[in-house]
């Protein structure tokens, strides 16, 4: 087992771990969670021996091999398959020695060990891992140097998984993966034969791939049973219980103090008072839970636009006159919540760039509403921010006509206090830079949000805050993400981007998982699994889900005119409120009542105010009726 015994570690004056304890049993899969900056990566490096403790001890079985994800991407002329195979140094050494060994006893030992390590299946195991992480047979034969840094980081992960360490330490392994590879990794980790400690902000990965959660908070470690959802529930219950116990203790303490103050100088009660003083000195206060400040996202409400917002007519898009996607006939309405599915390189980001106006069609047409405003969050925007500027300065540049209160209000929507708004961007965390990007892209009140991997630098709490904000947003949303939880909780349509085209995908993410599994089985020459689900075969289940999604889409379509009517009625009320406020302000001006002032103007204002009251009553009645009709239709 892995045992952490009162471990302490400091970075300068800051204490990351302060006498922290934890025990992880052999073969267990544990998710290590905590807010950004609490020291999760540092803890993995301490366990692996990369850095040394300031105090305490880490106990590991002496024969355990420990593997940790590193940030260095492999390179060179070796093929991907050769690179992965060479990661198991013992296997390579044994195979080389087997070619030259002459001593019969040693030859026997070598082949026994090769059998233990299943050397006969090494090539197929390595190829299977590479396929899972997105490399087909052709790609596996190409050299590492032909691939970009993100793809080579996948090779590094494949090498680590292939080496099968007894203790597998994974630090954000999905950062360079697409949704397809993330779903594969989830299944792989569920059957991993060793012990796992996994740092991840992917809620679904933490729910499906681990059975325990190790929480790092306030320099201490607490182990919880179950996945992430169970951890949240258990921790919430513990905090509530702790708050009740603290309230009881404070009430008890107050009562004892009151007795002491009342009777400490009274001879007949002196002994009892002294006894209570001793009791009070022995009562340790129950510490208050200092939960971190909550993360804030708040997209502003866009102006109403009639659907469709965007259509394409036989459009082709790509680069250097080479089409990536062709014959696109797409329509995006104001109520749409669409997630793009498909492996990296199939054109998801290319479509997002077209919608954002960063690319023009190679052929065909794209039609946009004249008043359409777009908020575009790109994968690498955080790296392109001016590091020497502050969030306030960047927002001021983006909104030069806004007043200082308006600039600060927009930053405040995304959790930037006055202090953080004046901090240089170069000193912000990755999560803060992501939130700043959200603040910048939404400052113009966009009608559509285009989100390309928006969660890369966000912790679990921030991702959940983003989910709530997307669901509260009144415009359309198009999402590309490797985070299944974000997709499942915000999207109600899936578009499959594959083989140069885009088509609706009528299943859910479970269906998509099954589809990926079937494709991988085909690549390996295996027969697809014909198991039945809940007494129905898979095709029947798929049909049922398709029909459910069709009915849901039809129900959403039926709500569109009612929502439009409600939005128009609300906009009417707001316009009248603004006009009424202007008239009321003018009537409150004492100068218009002075001798010599225009009396007819005053009378006109009073008549307009009276008419405004009648119009307001009618507008509010229409608004309430529209909301009532919408609520009944929704139920």
Tens-place pLDDT, residues 280-290: 666 666 555 55
Give the separation between CA 607 and CA 614, rounded to whole angstroms. 11
Lowest mean pLDDT among 183-192, 355-364, 618-627: 618-627
pLDDT of 463 over the 80 cut: yes
Could you name the CATH architecture of 310-524+537-553? 3-Layer(aba) Sandwich (3.40)
For the purposes of burial, counting CB atoms within 10 Å of the CB of 60, is it exposed (0-12), middle (13-18) or buried (19 or more)?
A: middle
pLDDT of 449 over the 90 cut: yes
pLDDT of 538 over the 70 cut: no
Lowest mean pLDDT among 53-67, 518-532, 560-574: 518-532
For residue 35 the two structure tokens come to 């807010």
Pairing of strands 476-480, 337-341: parallel
Give the separation between CA 474 and CA 517, rounded to whole angstroms. 36
What is the per-residue pLDDT for 581? 82
Pick the closest to residue 214 from 14, 23, 9 (CA basis). Answer: 23
pLDDT of 448 over the 90 cut: yes
φ, ψ of residue 505 to 5 degrees: the values are -110, 115
What is the per-residue pLDDT for 203? 87
pLDDT tens digits, 143-155:
888 888 788 889 9
Give the separation between CA 362 and CA 58, rounded to whole angstroms. 59
Pick the closest to residue 162 from 89, 71, 266 (CA basis). Answer: 89
Helix (H) or strand (E) holding 616, with range, is helix 599-634
pLDDT tens digits, 12-36:
888 889 999 999 999 999 999 988 7
What is the per-residue pLDDT for 283? 61
Give the separation between CA 234 and CA 524, rounded to whole angstroms. 42
pLDDT of 306 over the 60 cut: yes
pLDDT of 589 over the 70 cut: yes
What is the per-residue pLDDT for 259? 67
Report helix, strand and coil shares of the chain as percent, to nearest 5: 50, 20, 30
Give the separation between CA 345 and CA 136, rounded to whole angstroms. 13
pLDDT of 552 over the 80 cut: no
Binning pLDDT at 50, 70 and 90, where does residue 178 land?
confident
Pick the closest to residue 391 from 428, 360, 365 (CA basis). Answer: 428
What is the per-residue pLDDT for 530? 46
Residue whose token pair is 């992960």: 157
In whole angstroms, how far apart are CA 307 and each of 73, 299, 445, 563? 46, 20, 17, 12
What is the per-residue pLDDT for 536? 44
More confident residue, 40 or 292: 40
Lowest mean pLDDT among 208-222, 225-239, 317-331, 559-573: 559-573
Q: Would you mind telling me the total number of residues written for the chain in this entry?
A: 635
Q: Provide, rounded to the nearest whole percent, the portion of the chain with pLDDT above 90.
A: 21
Binning pLDDT at 50, 70 and 90, where does residue 169 land?
very high
Give the separation between CA 2 and CA 540, rounded to whole angstroms. 46
Give the separation between CA 158 and CA 336, rounded to whole angstroms. 37
Binning pLDDT at 50, 70 and 90, where does residue 534 land?
very low
Beta strands (DSSP E) in 304-444 are 310-319, 322-328, 331-332, 337-341, 363-368, 374-377
In whole angstroms, how far apart are CA 338 and each of 126, 289, 376? 35, 39, 15
| Residue 322, SS3 per DSSP | strand
What is the per-residue pLDDT for 547? 59
Domain boundaries, given as residue ranges, for the chain: 1-30, 74-171, 236-282, 310-524+537-553, 557-634
What is the per-residue pLDDT for 276? 65
What is the per-residue pLDDT for 57? 93
Binning pLDDT at 50, 70 and 90, where does residue 535 land?
very low
pLDDT of 311 over the 90 cut: yes
Residue 301: DSSP 8-state? P
Do the Cβ atoms of 117 and 153 come closer than 8 Å?
A: no
pLDDT tens digits, 492-533:
889 999 889 999 988 888 888 888 777 666 655 555 554 444
Pick the closest to residue 31 from 184, 187, 223 (CA basis). Answer: 223
Which residues are CB-neighbours of 609 under 8 A, at least 6 positions away? Answer: 580, 583, 584, 587
């Amino acid at each position: 087992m892995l045992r952490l015994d009162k471990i302490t570690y400091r970075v300068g004056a800051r204490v990351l771990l302060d006498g922290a304890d934890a025990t992880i049993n052999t073969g267990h899969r544990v998710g290590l969670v905590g807010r950004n900056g609490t020291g999760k990566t540092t803890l993995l490096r301490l366990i692996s021996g990369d850095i040394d403790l300031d105090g305490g001890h880490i106990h590991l079985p002496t024969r355990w091999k420990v593997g940790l994800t590193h940030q260095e991407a492999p390179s060179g002329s070796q093929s991907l398959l050769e690179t992965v195979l060479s990661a198991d140094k013992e296997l390579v050494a044994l195979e080389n020695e087997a070619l030259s060994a002459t001593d019969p006893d040693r030859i026997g030992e070598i082949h026994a060990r090769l059998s233990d390590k299943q050397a006969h299946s090494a090539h197929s195991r390595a190829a299977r891992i590479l396929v899972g992480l997105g490399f087909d047979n052709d790609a596996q034969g190409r050299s590492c140097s032909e691939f970009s840094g993100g793809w080579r980081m996948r090779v590094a992960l494949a090498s680590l998984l292939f080496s099968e360490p007894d203790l597998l330490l994974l630090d954000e392994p999905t950062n360079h993966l697409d949704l397809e590879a993330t779903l594969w990794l989830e299944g792989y980790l569920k059957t991993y034969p060793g012990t796992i400690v996994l740092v991840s902000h992917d809620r679904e990965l933490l729910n499906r791939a681990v059975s325990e959660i190790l929480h790092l908070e306030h320099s201490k470690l607490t182990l919880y049973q179950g996945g992430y959802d169970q951890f949240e529930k258990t921790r919430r219950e513990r905090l509530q219980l702790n708050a009740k116990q603290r309230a009881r203790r404070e009430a008890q303490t107050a009562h004892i103090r009151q007795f002491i103050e009342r009777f400490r100088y009274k001879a007949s009660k002196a002994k009892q008072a002294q006894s209570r003083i001793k009791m009070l000195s022995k009562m340790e206060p129950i510490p208050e839970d200092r939960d971190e400040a909550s993360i804030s996202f708040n997209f502003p409400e866009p102006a109403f636009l009639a659907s469709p917002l965007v259509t394409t007519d036989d459009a082709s898009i790509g680069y250097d006159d080479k089409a990536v996607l062709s014959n696109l006939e797409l329509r995006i309405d104001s109520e749409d919540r669409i997630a793009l599915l498909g492996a990296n390189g199939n054109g998801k980001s290319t479509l997002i760039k077209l919608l954002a106006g960063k690319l023009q069609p190679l052929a065909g047409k794209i039609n946009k509403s004249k008043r359409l405003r777009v908020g575009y969050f790109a994968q690498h925007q955080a790296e392109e921010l001016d590091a020497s500027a502050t969030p306030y300065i960047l927002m001021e540049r983006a909104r030069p006509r806004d007043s200082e209160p308006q600039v600060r209000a927009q930053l405040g929507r995304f959790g930037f206090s006055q202090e953080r708004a004046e901090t240089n961007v170069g000193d912000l965390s990755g999560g803060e830079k992501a939130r700043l990007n959200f603040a910048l892209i939404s400052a113009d009140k966009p009608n559509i949000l285009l989100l390309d991997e928006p969660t890369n630098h966000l912790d679990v709490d921030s991702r959940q805050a983003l989910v709530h904000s997307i669901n509260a947003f009144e415009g359309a949303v198009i999402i590309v993400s490797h985070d299944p939880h974000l997709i499942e909780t915000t999207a109600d349509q899936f578009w499959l981007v594959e083989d140069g085209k885009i088509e609706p995908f009528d299943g859910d993410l479970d269906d998509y998982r099954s589809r990926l599994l079937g494709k991988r089985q085909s690549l390996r020459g295996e027969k697809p699994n014909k198991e039945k689900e809940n007494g129905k075969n898979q095709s029947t289940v798929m049909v049922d889900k398709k029909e459910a999604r069709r009915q849901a889409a039809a129900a959403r379509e039926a709500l569109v005119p009612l929502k439009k009517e409600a939005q128009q009625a609300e906009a009417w009320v707001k316009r009248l409120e603004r006009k009424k406020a202007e008239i009321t302000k003018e009537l409150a001006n004492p100068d218009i009542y002075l001798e010599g002032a225009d009396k007819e103007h005053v009378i006109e204002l009073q008549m307009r105010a009276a008419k405004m009251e009648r119009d307001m009553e009618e507008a509010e009645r229409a608004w309430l009726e529209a909301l009532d009709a919408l609520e009944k239709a929704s139920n």
